[in-house]
Amino acid sequence: MKLQYTLPDSLEAALRRVVGEEEVLYSLPYDVEGDAFIEDGFLIVTRTKILRGRGDEIVDCKELKSLSDFTAEKLYGSAGLYAKENGKTILICRFVSGKHLARYSVVARACEDLAKNASAPAAENDEPEQYCPTCGRRYLRGTHFCPHCRKKSEIYKKLWNMTRGMRLMLLFPIVTTLVGLVLRFVLPAIQRIAINDFIYPEEGVERGTMTGFLVVIAAIVSLDIFQRAMGVLQGRISAISGNRFTLQLRERLFEKLHSLSMSAISKKTTGDMMGRINEDVSTVQNFITNLLPGYVSQVFSFVFALAILIWMDPLMCLFVFVPLPIAVFAILKFWKYMRQRWRRRWTLRRRTNEHLHDSLNGIRVIKNYGNEEHAIGQFSQKVDHQASQDERTDKIFDTFFPIIGFVLRLGNYLILFYGNFLLFGGGMSVGALNQFNSYAGILYEPLMQINHIPRNITEFMTSLSKIIEVLEEEPEIKDKEEPRDIKIGGDISVRDVTFGYDSYNPVLEHISVEVKKGEMLGIVGHSGSGKTTLINLIMRLYETGQGQILIDGVDIRDISQNALRSQIGVVLQETLLFSGSVRDNIRYSKPDATNAEIIRAAKMANAHDFIMALPQGYNTIVGEKGYSLSGGERQRVAIARALIHNPAILILDEATASLDTETEKLIQDALNNLTENRTTIAIAHRLSTMRGADKLLVLDHGKVAEFGTHKELLDQRGIYYKLVMAQTEAAIAKG
Amino acid sequence: MTPEINDTVNDLFHHRKSVPLTPANATFFRSEGGLVSLTLRNDDGTEETFERVAVIRAFPITNPDDFLSVREPGKGSGRGDEIGLIETISIFDAETIALLNEELNRRYFIPEITKIYSMKEKYGYHYTEAQTSAGRVQFVMNNPSNNIRTLEDGRVLITDTDGNCFCLPDPSKLDKQSYRIIEIYL
């Protein structure tokens, strides 16, 4: 992330007058002041001072020593850098939050360090940049890719590499369209012979023989057949190449997405990733196999037609050109306007659909509150609005589309007009006129498209860039050169770990915890205190910022990810069962598990009995479309899944939180089976889940509040003590 | 987990109890650093002074002057505890109102759009150029259909990808050209 913006020369000079030769560590723009955006504000930090520059003046200069408690605070519509000057809070400057909040947060932390110690090392800065350093524009959504600055040739080269193995097939459509094009130009020439020599010979010219005429007709027919045959061939080949291209690209994308770390994936939404695999690939494929050949042929046909027209009759060619600017202008205007109307129609439709979706989904709520009339009123208002807009759009389209058609024909009318003069004067044959007119038609044809071409090209480039970006992304979490495949015993040691999903916003700070093999650690804390984050770090779904995590004395970064995760079993609060049978779900983490093992795991998870009550036992299909299991049943399947590979470490992340007491009892018993002889980490709100815990960790806002055995914590009379009391009281009150 | 227990758990981790703030128990004054300080008189007669408080609107869009939450400044996005709620700003004297509004204006920066020069779509972003009460700006939207929100009273709120917020008090009062640009998203 960029923390040193270049200062304008004049400001740099002013700065030097104030601080002399002192090195500038950070310089960030601040772009909001009072009630206006400004463009010339800079916040500058040196080792001993913090300064504000505006235009070519330094307007504010403070000694870092006198400041403390630097925070970058997000406001609404902007954000501010606050600090305390001799204990009094001041607002140093304000800035556009999305652009600079992360930068200011890092700088705030650096200032904090510098204020205490002027020789503090530079701030850790591994936050990815979101704005293109060259042009300052935002990168493509969710990427580090600036389509404005990245060289087009580079992108095309990547595309070229993607087409390996199918280039000939992909080029074929272009070849066939070009052949088709040539045929289109030949056809009017043959027609001219047919007219001039046979149908309407000029005076004094002998009419051709019947055989000759048949030959010409046969030529025309076979040309047509040939053209169509080419079309069929092209379609068939496109179908093969297009599908193969799509398949290959989708596979590569899917594979790549799975090799990325959680931190990279969690920054992308599921919808975005699905979009890239489905829509973006389709867009690229459609462009290459369908649109591109069309554009190539249009460019060629325009140039050919122009050349032939000039060669045939330069003067008459002028008539073709007179209406051209009018036509181009009219078409551009027309499409621009129509696009807006269509966009509006689309927006309104989407809104109506959303409303429909909402009220159908919520129909029970609507009925419960007797709100039917209101809902009906709202809906009809939306539909009315949409209908009137649609009507207007359709009327406009149906009025102007024919007019545009007329404008495009203007050239032909002028040719006919002038051509007839020539005809009467004997300067031109009927056949030649017809030929000329046909070519003029070809010349005008691509015009209807000119508005779509740039649009389609940018769409294609956008999709292509998004795909390339995923393919180029390097997995953040990588195995070492020679990772160790250790057999995990179960000692876990967390040493002074500090971590945040965004580096400027730590979720865990200085966490140190030791768990011995076979022990159970219970983690307690309010939501957002970092419980799940700690577990994610132990599983190495994210890389620890500072500090390290050891398993059996080995840094988890030295263990291969596969070895690590295959020996950890996890049960989450929200259980995801894949569509498939109960058996498939249980053996998910060990596909070669025998049926005996599956039943053993199910029994340990207290799941065997309810599975036997299902219509098809272990073969019953569950998941989205299958048999619907209750929350407790799903949870027990998940526990069996975690157990099947007999993990050395078991993690329970609020595994029992959403269940009723009776089911919890069943699961609790299952868990007691589970936790024997393995290291267990359990997160739970219900302290009953923690009964068996050897040690308890209380987290508060990412810090260790209390850590020790059940008895130690009760003796401390801290948060844990109060929690136990509160839950006991609640239990008694419930009776 | 039952809701009662949830509440208790939350109470254990959050220490302050929020009180209604009125001129009787709350005195706001300008801090030495130019921000807002508060002296709170508790029911038991003790006084607490907060060197700096954050003032946050509960209904920033529909009722900007009602239910102002006065909080201790928190880390980052403001997770500080609530000291109290002001039911409506008008119960305070003019000087306090001016002070609170000054703080609110610092926090809620929502320039008004007066003219739209252009809106162009490229590479999946909508680049917009407009004249606002805070100067001429260029801003970028992901998806105008989601970023442009028409409120029930006819106002239009626009948020961009950089975290800026803009307000269009009455789109029908825009000049024809500007209106045509924005119309399709209303």
Average pLDDT for B155-179: 89
Q: Are A83 and A90 in contact (CB under 8 A)?
A: yes
| Within this chain, domains A484-567+649-659+679-710 and A575-646 share the same CATH topology | yes
Judge whether residue A593 has pLDDT over 50: yes
Higher pLDDT, B160 or A202: B160
Q: Are A178 and A300 in contact (CB under 8 A)?
A: yes
A&B contacts, CB < 8 Å: 150
Q: Which of 138-177 (A) contact B at CB < 8 A?
A: 138, 140-141, 147-148
Burial class of residue A175, CB neighbours in 10 A (0-12, 13-18, 19+): middle
Higher pLDDT, A208 or A370: A370
Mutate to test the interface with A, among B4, B8, B13 (most CBs of A within 10 A): B13
Q: What is the dihedral of CA A621, A622, A626, A628, to 10 degrees?
A: 140
What pLDDT does B13 receive? 54
Judge whether residue A526 has pLDDT over 60: yes
Name the amino acid, one letter, at B150.
Answer: T
Higher pLDDT, B76 or A351: A351
Q: What angle do CA A65, A70, A76 make, to 5 degrees?
A: 150
Helix, strand, coil content of chain B in percent (nearest 5): 25, 40, 35
In chain B, the residue whose alpha carbon lies closest to the alpha carbon of A729 is: B5
Which CATH entry fits the domain spanning A9-116: 2.40.170.20, 3.20.19.10, 1.10.10.10, 2.30.29.30? 2.30.29.30
Radius of gyration of chain B (CA): 21
Which CATH entry fits the domain spanning A484-567+649-659+679-710: 1.10.150.20, 1.20.1250.20, 3.40.50.300, 3.90.1150.10? 3.40.50.300
The pLDDT confidence band at residue A627, using thresholds 50, 70 and 90, is confident
Average pLDDT for A342-363: 83
SS3 B118: strand
SS3 A720: helix
| Mean pLDDT for all residues in chain A | 83
CB contact under 8 A, B32 and A88: yes
Q: What percent of chain A has pLDDT over 90?
A: 4
SS3 B41: strand
Q: pLDDT per residue over B53-75, tens digit each?
A: 989 898 988 888 999 999 888 65
CA B120 – CA A137 distance, rounded (Å): 14
Mutate to test the interface with B, among A30, A32, A33, A35 (most CBs of B within 10 A): A35
What pLDDT does B117 receive? 93
Q: pLDDT per residue over A73-113, tens digit each?
A: 888 888 899 999 888 889 999 998 888 888 888 888 888 88
Q: What percent of chain A has pLDDT over 70?
A: 94
Question: Per this entry, what is the length of chain B?
Answer: 186
Judge whether residue A484 has pLDDT over 50: yes
Q: Which of 150-169 (B) contact A at CB < 8 A?
A: 160-165
The pLDDT confidence band at residue A127, using thresholds 50, 70 and 90, is low
Judge whether residue A412 has pLDDT over 50: yes
A136 touches chain B (CB under 8 A): no
Q: Which of 69-128 (A) contact B at CB < 8 A?
A: 71-80, 82, 84-85, 87-91, 94, 96-99, 101, 105
Chain B positions in Cβ-Cβ contact with residue A88 (cut-off 8 Å): 31-33, 51
Judge whether residue A581 has pLDDT over 80: yes
Beta bridge pairs of residue A307: none
CB contact under 8 A, A73 and B1: no
Q: Are A669 and A686 in contact (CB under 8 A)?
A: no
Per mean pLDDT, which range of A321-325, A464-468, A548-552, B10-14 is the poorest? B10-14
The pLDDT confidence band at residue B4, using thresholds 50, 70 and 90, is very low
The pLDDT confidence band at residue A735, using thresholds 50, 70 and 90, is low
Chain A positions in Cβ-Cβ contact with residue B124 (cut-off 8 Å): 140-141, 462
Buried b (16+ CB within 10 A) or exposed e, A530-550: bbbbbbbbbbbbbbbbebebb
What pLDDT does B1 receive? 39
Shortest distance between the Cα of A650 and any Cα of chain B, in A, equals 23
CA A353 and chain centroid, separation: 24
What pLDDT does B101 receive? 93
Name the helix (H) or strand (E) containing A154.
helix A152-162
Q: Can you list the alpha helix ranges (DSSP code H) found in A88-129? A: 97-116
What pLDDT does A359 receive? 84
Residue in A32, A105, A685 nearest the CB of B1: A685
In chain A, the residue whose alpha carbon lies closest to the alpha carbon of B163 is: A98
- The architecture in CATH of the region A145-305+452-475 reads Up-down Bundle (1.20)
A490 touches chain B (CB under 8 A): no
User: What CATH number does the domain located at A575-646 have?
Assistant: 3.40.50.300
Mutate to test the interface with A, among B4, B12, B181 (most CBs of A within 10 A): B12
What pLDDT does A734 receive? 62
Beta bridge pairs of residue A678: none
In chain B, the residue whose alpha carbon lies closest to the alpha carbon of A81 is: B76
The pLDDT confidence band at residue B40, using thresholds 50, 70 and 90, is very high
What pLDDT does B38 receive? 93
CA B163 – CA B108 distance, rounded (Å): 12
| Locus of tokens 């272009």 | A174
What pLDDT does B91 receive? 94
Judge whether residue B3 has pLDDT over 50: no
Q: Are B68 and B108 in contact (CB under 8 A)?
A: no
Residue in A85, A98, A505 nearest the CB of B76: A505
Domain residue ranges in chain A: 9-116, 145-305+452-475, 314-427, 484-567+649-659+679-710, 575-646
Name the helix (H) or strand (E) containing A703.
strand A703-708
CA distances from A574 to A300, A628, A656 (A): 59, 15, 10
Task: Give the closest residue to A635 by CA, choosing from A591, A685, A583, A577.
Answer: A577
Q: pLDDT per residue over A14-50, tens digit each?
A: 888 888 888 888 999 998 888 888 888 999 999 888 9
The pLDDT confidence band at residue A278, using thresholds 50, 70 and 90, is confident
Q: Tokens standing for B78?
A: 């403001």
CB contact under 8 A, B106 and A458: no
Judge whether residue B2 has pLDDT over 70: no
Q: Are B40 and B83 in contact (CB under 8 A)?
A: yes
Residue in A74, A76, A88 nearest the CB of B108: A76
Q: Are A379 and A359 in contact (CB under 8 A)?
A: yes
Q: From the DSSP assignment, how many helices (H) and strands (E) are in chain B? A: 4, 13
CA distances from A375 to A245, A682, B149, B152 (A): 47, 46, 20, 16
Task: Give the closest residue to A543 by CA, choosing from A589, A483, A503.
Answer: A503
A389 touches chain B (CB under 8 A): no
Cβ atoms within 10 Å of B134's Cβ, excluding its own = 22
Higher pLDDT, A690 or B118: B118
- DSSP readout, A21-82? TPPEEEEEE--EETTEE-SSEEEEEESSEEEEEETTEEEEEEEGGGEEEEEEEE-BSSEEEE
Name the amino acid, one letter, at A82.
Answer: Y
Judge whether residue B76 has pLDDT over 80: no
SS3 B150: strand
The highest-confidence range among A70-74, A373-377, A446-450, B112-116, by mean pLDDT, is B112-116
Task: Give the closest residue to B98 by CA, choosing from A92, B106, A36.
Answer: B106
| Cα dihedral across residues A680, A685, A688, A693: positive or negative | positive
